[in-house]
Structure formats: C-alpha cells, structure tokens
Amino acid sequence: MAFQLDFGATLADDIVGDAEDTCPVADVGSHRRIVIAFVGLAFEARIAEGPGVLVVCRTAGSELAKAADSAVRQGYRGMVSFGVAGGLASHLRAGDWVVASAVRESQTVRPTDVVWSRRLLGLIAGAVHAPVVGVDAPIAEPARKRELHRTTGAAAVDMESHIVARVAAAQGLAFAAVRVIVDPAHRKVPPAALLSMRPDGRADATAVLRDIVARPSQISPLARIAVDAFIARAAMARVRRLLGPHFGFTDLDREVAHSDVAESELGGSDVAPYRSPA
C-alpha cells in the first residue's frame, strides 16, 4: 500500500500540480499592474505570476467580473487566459502552444486582440494561431474531441478562455488566450484525472488515490497522462519566462490595433491554424 500511496500522490502532482500550491484570490493591490491572468489550477497560477500581472484562479471565478471592474478603474488594460488545454486538432501534441485567434462559446465567437496575439506568436516559436473553444465540463473522450473540432474548427479546448472573453468584452479590455496542450486529441483522459479539485485549486491526491485503488486498470493511462502533464508544465514555465512582464502586452496606443493591416497579417480571427516561425 505504501507503493500505491506514493504512486498515486505523484500522479496527482504531475497531472494537476503540486499539492502544496494554492490558488490566489483576486485582489487588486497597489502595485503597478496592467494585465489580469485567468488560470484554472494552482500550479498555473504560480507559473503565471510576475511583474505587472494580477493572477485570478477559476476557483474564484465568481469574483472575476468584480476584480476586473476594480482593475479597470486602476488602469489595467488587458486580460489573458493562460494554462493547459485539451488538444482537438490531431497534429497537436503535449507541449504544443495555441495562441487563440478567437474563443468560441456555444454560438458566440469573440475575437482576441490582434496586436497582442501577433506579439505572442512572435515570442512563442512554433505556436499555432487558431480558434479555442471554451466549455464548462472536461472533454475526456477522443470521439468527443473529434466532434468538437469538426463542429467548431477549434484547435484546443479549455474551461477558462470563454469566461475571460466574456468579462474582457464587458469591460472593454484587450483580450488574449495562450494555451499549452496537455492531452492530445487521441488521448482518453481516465476518470481519476478528472476528479474535482479542492476549493483552493490544489490537487486532491487522496481522491485520485482512492479511484486508482478502486480501478487499478487506470494506472497505465494515468502514467501516460502524467508524462504529458510534465511536458506541458515544463513548456509553461519556459514560455512564461519568454513572455516577460505583462505577458507580452504593450499599449503604445494599440499601434495598429485591429487595423486592416494587422488583420490581413494574421488572417483574421477565424481562420485555418497558423503556425509561427520556429
């Protein structure tokens, strides 16, 4: 049982982050910040932290609109959705990046900021520029992923970007979404990996362990998921350093923001996936 306990805890950490991480609660302080980063998990929050950034976790999602309203009054100018995502396009693998051209939610499509997205594509070598779809529940089955890709054209799916898109639109903030693939389109996510997080966003290693003990056939697919998660997490840490302060956001009077030139350069907000130069 000692082996099973250690193995279960390690899997939980690799899949959803360190057990000791905690998700920050939205708090607009006095420091000079201009970007709100919205994440889903505690380890994503820790990676997202940096100069000029206020990090808000999905566990405090009900506070996001209030935090954004307060932040706008203090000079914040952008919101970014940052973290892991499920792959929908078959060519994407764990560790690959998607810079959203638009975020789809049901029948609504909200384009991302053209200038900011262009800068992100320039900073992240090999990143794909394509739509992302936001959902309220995990997508675990490969057949469901294929269907979602077919019906939406999205390259990736996550549970935060549609929330950010909504709030940013309501507040008139520039919006971007940059997501790293953690489970490719062909990968089935086993039940233990879908267990609920604790209210503070930390991994519930005990719940994962119990499910593994009850259904030990999950051990092999969980191990594959853990490897993918390790790859994605390492990619997140590396790219976050590359993005620097403000997640690459610059104002500069928005340069040629949303101009025809910028639109043509990126191909608009709803086009076939574009990959930045490696």
Residues with Cβ within 8 Å of 66's Cβ and at least 6 positions away in sequence, in order, are 26
Question: What does DSSP assign to residue 173?
Answer: -
Alpha carbon distance 171, 28 (integer Å): 15
pLDDT cut 90: percent of the chain above it: 49
CA separation for the pair 29, 47 (Å, rounded)? 19
Q: C-alpha dihedral over 193, 196, 200, 206, to 10 degrees?
A: -70
- The gap from C-alpha 259 to its chain's centroid, in whole angstroms, comes to 27
Q: What is the pLDDT of residue 41?
A: 86
Tally the C-alpha atoms within 13 A of residue 52's C-alpha that lie toward its C-beta. Answer: 15
Q: Are strands 35-39 and 53-57 parallel, antiparallel or unpaired?
A: parallel
Whether the predicted model's global pTM rises above the 0.85 cut: no
Give the residues across from 128 on adjacent strands: 98, 275
Residue 168: per-residue pLDDT: 94
Task: Quote the DSSP letter at residue 256.
Answer: T
What six digits make up the tokens of 198?
Answer: 């604790």
* Distance, CA of 248 to CA of 53 (rounded, Å): 11
pLDDT for res 92: 98
Contact assessment for residue 134 and residue 161, using Cβ atoms and an 8 Å cutoff: yes
Mean of pLDDT over the chain: 78
Give φ, ψ of 223 to 5 degrees: -65, -40
| Mean pLDDT of the 227-240 span | 95
58: left (phi over 0), alpha (psi -120 to 50) or beta: alpha
Q: Is the pLDDT confidence value at 7 over 80?
A: no
With bands split at pLDDT 50, 70 and 90, how would you rate the model's confidence at 272? Answer: very low
d(CA 161, CA 179): 9
Domain 30-188+228-275 annotated CATH 3.40.50.1580: yes
pLDDT tens-digit readout, 136-194: 988 989 999 999 999 999 999 999 999 999 999 999 999 999 999 999 999 987 766 66
Which of 99-108, 134-143, 162-171, 208-217 has the weakest average pLDDT? 208-217
Q: What is the dihedral of CA 206, 211, 216, 222, to 10 degrees?
A: -80
Once rounded to an integer, what is the mean pLDDT over residues 197-210?
Answer: 63
Q: Quote the strand ranges of 172-248, DSSP E.
A: 174-183
